[in-house]
Structures are given as structure tokens and as C-alpha cells.
Amino acid sequence: MKTLCFGSLNIDNVYHVDHFVGRGETLAARELNIFSGGKGLNQSIALARAGLDVWHAGAVGQDGMFLLDELKRSGVDTRYTAILEDTRTGHAIIQKGDDGDNCILLFGGANRKIDEAQIDRTLGDFGNEDLLVVQNEISCLEYLVSRARQYGLRIALNPSPMEHGLLPLLPQVDYLILNEVEAAQFLELDAPEDPEKMISTLISRFPSVTIVLTIGKDGSIYAKGSERIYQDAVSVQVVDTTAAGDTFTGFFLAGLIKEGDPSLAMKYAAQAAAISVTRLGAAPSIPTRDEVLKIM
């Protein structure tokens, strides 16, 4: 079985600040670090470091070649990633506070140049029961999911950044991995409600979808039909939360594929995410399979 992550590649500009900048405010950052990032890149690296054979599809400009090097160092095959001559690589402006929390401003760049021709060329090398992992930082996502379903791929969706245009995709998705804010947005709630209630509502609307809901320091919940698995978060000293969700997604899917046990996959993902938040950066913070298993 092959795993294809079709997603974004970003250059992350991370500014360490005393507080998040407000409207009309000019704020001096204490430090600037530049990291490889993008939810697609992060999840590809997490999937590969968790032990899967991974191919990444996406697009970068000439300024983003180091992102491909980062993927290759983690064992990810990048042959399906387009290198564009006239477009800048996607990038993010990230403010990071002393508590490790962050806020992010995205520029899509090359990530928004994905077209149907690239999707068809890529999917032609994948087939029945292979896994497609997608997020919402690239163009042509609806076409990608529809074509992947026709090719017989299993599909995992991490709906971030969230928008209501993703709702029609859910009946075609096998795995939906999201946080409580995204769940509330899917359900058109003003704010997150009781996690179990939100999961039950989502399951009733999309009964064929396996859902994993992450709820920050309160852990995560796996839901498939009437089955529920509750996983506590691992307590650590938080340094930077930037790639925690992507790490969780990659390690959960890898654990489920390699072991077939959702309970073990949830533990695997929780431990990996806990390690990631003790380190700076997005991709550089993602642990290896051996690191996670040693602690488990």
C-alpha cells in the first residue's frame, strides 16, 4: 500500500513576540526563525517518520527548493511535486508567544497553482486501497477528492483551514481528522460545544466516515459508528505548538495502517504530538518512530 500526501509546502517565517499584534499596532519581534512548513509537508514528514512509504505531490517556486530537500531527508518521494518558474512558494507569517501558542497568516503562492492536469498525472500511479491524505491549503481540492475516489483510494481529510465549501466532500472521505473549532464550524455553531455531542452529530450526518476529534489539553476522541476511544493528552512543557496537529494526523494514520488498532494509533499519535510541542518549528519538531516507541 502506498501513501500519497497531496498538499501544501510553505516557508514558515516564525516571529517570537511578547503578544500577538493587534489592530493598528506596530510590534517589535524578539526573534525570527525560518523553517520548512505547510500542512502538506508537515504531514508527509510525519507519515514518513512514523514508518510509512510516502509520496508528496504539490508545487513550489524556485525559492522553495530547500523544502524538497527537507522531504527527501525524511524519506519522502517528491517526484510528483511541480517546480514552478514564475510563482513564489507559499509562505506563512507565524507569531509565537512565550506560552508556545501561535497565530498564522498564510499566502498560498504555488500551492494555489495545482490544476486538474497535475492531479490526473499523479493519481494515475496510485490505485485501489492506497491512501490519499489531504488538507485545505491547495487549489482543485474538490476535483482531487472526486478523482481519488474514482481511482479507489482511501481518503483522509484534515479540514484546515476550515471553510464551508469542504462540507460536500465529507461523504467521499474515509477519515476526518479535525479539532473542536473546525467541528463547530462544520456544524455552524458559534463556538465549540461538548465534544461528544459534536461527534455524535457529525456521525449521524456522515455515518460512513471515521472521525478523530482533537480537543487540545483534553486529548482526543476516535469515533466510528457507535464505537468511541478516548485518549488523554500527554502532559509536557510546551515550547511551540505549530505542527502538533499535523504530527498527530501523520502518526495516527500510520499507526492505524501499520497496526490496524485504533486504540494503539491514538496513543501513538498523542505521544508524537506531545514530543513535537517541546521543540521549535514545524517540520523540524516532528519526532521519528523510534523516538515515540522508546517513550511508549
Radius of gyration of the chain measured on its C-alpha atoms: 18
Q: What are phi and psi of 177, to 5 degrees?
A: -115, 115
Q: What is the pTM of this model?
A: 0.92
146 contacts 172 by C-beta, under 8 angstroms: yes
What average pLDDT does this structure show over 104-124?
Answer: 96
Alpha carbon 34 to chain centroid distance? 19
Report the largest interatomic distance among the alpha carbons of the chain, rounded to a whole angstrom: 53
With 80 as the cut, is the pLDDT of residue 217 above it?
yes
Angle at 148 between CA 81 and CA 146, to 5 degrees: 115
With 90 as the cut, is the pLDDT of residue 240 above it?
no
For the chain, what is the mean pLDDT? Answer: 95
pLDDT in tens, 7-59: 999 998 999 999 999 999 999 999 999 989 899 999 999 999 999 999 999 99
* pLDDT number for residue 282: 80
CA distances from 60 to 95, 110, 166, 285 (A): 23, 5, 24, 22
* pLDDT number for residue 99: 82
Q: Residue 253's pLDDT band (boundaries 50, 70, 90)?
A: very high
What average pLDDT does this structure show over 74-96?
Answer: 95
Per domain, the residue ranges of the chain are 3-9+38-88+110-295
Q: Which of 100, 85, 81, 84 is nearest to 41 (CA)?
A: 81
Number of other residues whose CB lies within 10 A of the CB of residue 82? 17
Alpha-carbon span 292 to 189, nearest angstrom: 36
Number of other residues whose CB lies within 10 A of the CB of residue 291? 14
Interhelix angle 39-49/244-259, nearest 10 degrees: 40
Residue with cell 478523530: 212
Architecture, CATH, for domain 3-9+38-88+110-295: 3-Layer(aba) Sandwich (3.40)
With 90 as the cut, is the pLDDT of residue 126 above it?
yes
- Peptide bond connecting 161 to the previous residue in cis, omega within 30 degrees of 0: yes
With 90 as the cut, is the pLDDT of residue 280 above it?
no
* pLDDT number for residue 243: 87
With 90 as the cut, is the pLDDT of residue 206 above it?
yes
Alpha-carbon span 172 to 33, nearest angstrom: 39
With 90 as the cut, is the pLDDT of residue 100 above it?
no
Cβ neighbours for 45, distance < 8 A, ≥ 6 positions apart? 70, 71, 74, 76, 250, 283, 286
What average pLDDT does this structure show over 233-260?
Answer: 93
What average pLDDT does this structure show over 151-177?
Answer: 94
Q: Residue 157's pLDDT band (boundaries 50, 70, 90)?
A: very high
* pLDDT number for residue 236: 92
Lowest mean pLDDT among 37-46, 96-105, 109-118, 272-281: 96-105
